[in-house]
Amino acid sequence: MKGWENNSDFMVKKEIVSAANLKKEIEEAKVELTSQNKKLKLSVKTEAKKKVNKKKAVTKKKVDKKKAVTKKKVDKKKALAKKKADKKKAVAKKKAEAKKKVDKKKAAAKEKVDKKKAEAKKKAEAKKKEEEAKKKEEEAKKKEEEAKITQEEIWEEQLTEEEIIGFQIDKTDMDKLVNRVTEMIAGYETKGILQNILWRKLKLSSRDGSRLALKLERLGNITREKILENGRWTYLLLIKKIPISTKSIENAPCLVCPVEGKCSTDGEISPKSCVYIEDWVLTELKTKKVMKLIDAKKDHYRKLAHEQGYRSRASYKLKELNKSYRIIGAGHFVLDLGCAPGGWMQVATKIVGNKGKVMGIDSSYVEEIPGTFILRASINDNNIIEEIFDFFVKKVNTVICDLSPQVTGNWSVDHASQISLNYSAVKIMEQVLEKKGNSLFKVFDGEFSNEFYHYMKKKFLRVKLTKPKASRKPSSELYCICLGYLG
């Protein structure tokens, strides 16, 4: 090797070698560096990856935690909802069970009702059949009765006119009896009286009474109307002619006539041409019931009442007044004071209908009116209020009052007693009429009518005195309409 050190080639060669070595070293260093670089890069990457993973793990942990919390919440909610739903289900179940029970009960009740209904229907049908049979039986009885001849008819067949007119009761002044009975019948005016009631009042046997009625009819004093009363034929006695009593000729001019001895029907001095008799007769007739009867017979409303089955012409007064003032309405509870023979009750019953109630009070007998209650009593009787409440149970909507006293013919007396009856009726009204209720009072017009009108004005919202068309023109009766009781 020392030979090579002086040689330039050698030197170059040496330099080349060292350069090659250097190159080799550089390359090796390069490799080493690359490797180290690679390693470093790898370690940085690994580190970064580690960091990322760590971050990821932390995030995941967080997310998982959140998820767990959320899941817990959701589960809690779900559990709550489930609990609620279960509770709801339980309630619904309970309800359904309760409903089932109620339905069962309802079904049982319905079954009971249906059973009852069926029984009631059966009963009603049986009752209907029974009623129909009864009706048929009654009709047959009625036909049979109608075919029956009364004792009076037998007498009429058997007795001569003389025997009928000459009828005499032992030890009795027949003229006096005829006058008395005729006057009594006249007292019942156009209503008439049932003969058996009259005979009871007179304490006459029904045989004597019936013969007497025949006699009165033949004398032209009365008429007899054959009627079926409680399944038996009897007669309603109606006045035809007022008897001539000594009282009725009290003021006759003949009693004090100086030429009475010379008076004869065909003579120069005769009752036919006597002006005193004419004056007296005219004055008497004006005040006598005969006049009233003549009027009554011609009367349009009386005829109408007869045709339409109303018991009195008074029915038309109430009909007319109610049409204008609506005193009575459907469903009303109505009290009728002084109701005989029942004309107003017939009208009231029709107006109130099925839901209403009608009660009548009169001291006279009133034949039954279906669907009503009739009390035979004086309005001054003590227990009258109790009787009224017994029937109605509560206060009434309307009080109607057509009270009339037994008229004497003296107007001031009759007027005073009629107004006095009205004040008694008002006392009843005050206890039984409901607030805002209505009333109707007949008033015999006279000096006290105005006082009565003002008395009523204090008690009602609206009060009016009026005279219906159906009231006879010459009659001095007015009607006091009272609406809206102030209580």
Binding site for ligand SAM (CB under 6 A): 311-312, 314-315, 338-344, 361-364, 378-380, 402-405, 421
Name the residue with tokens 């006597």: 274
Distance (Å, whole) CA 418 – CA 313: 19
121 a catalytic residue: no
| Residue of 115, 289, 442, 458 marked catalytic | 442
R_g of the chain computed on alpha carbons: 59
Which residue type does 450 have? N
Cα first-last separation, the chain: 163
Residue 440 bridge partners (DSSP) = 400, 481
Pairing state of beta strands 357-362 and 333-337? parallel
Closest distance of CB 237 from ligand SAM, Å: 17
**Residue 167 or 452 with smaller CB distance to ligand SAM:** 452
**Residue 341 or 468 with smaller CB distance to ligand SAM:** 341
Closest distance of CB 423 from ligand SAM, Å: 12
User: Following CA atoms 476, 477, 478, 482 in sequence, which dihedral angle do they give, to the nearest 10 degrees?
Assistant: 150
Distance (Å, whole) CA 374 – CA 366: 7
**Residue 181 or 470 with smaller CB distance to ligand SAM:** 470
Closest distance of CB 221 from ligand SAM, Å: 22
Distance (Å, whole) CA 39 – CA 86: 66
Distance (Å, whole) CA 248 – CA 368: 37
DSSP-based three-state secondary structure for 277? helix
Closest distance of CB 404 from ligand SAM, Å: 4
Distance (Å, whole) CA 307 – CA 125: 35
Contact 412, 290 (CB under 8 A): no
**Residue 214 or 238 with smaller CB distance to ligand SAM:** 238
Closest distance of CB 309 from ligand SAM, Å: 13
Closest distance of CB 340 from ligand SAM, Å: 3
**Residue 252 or 377 with smaller CB distance to ligand SAM:** 377
**Residue 151 or 380 with smaller CB distance to ligand SAM:** 380
Distance (Å, whole) CA 297 – CA 301: 10
Centroid of chain to Cα 401: 20
What would the 3-class secondary structure string for 215-242 be? HHHHCCCEEEEEEEECCEEEEEEEECCC
Mind telling me the catalytic residues? Answer: 442
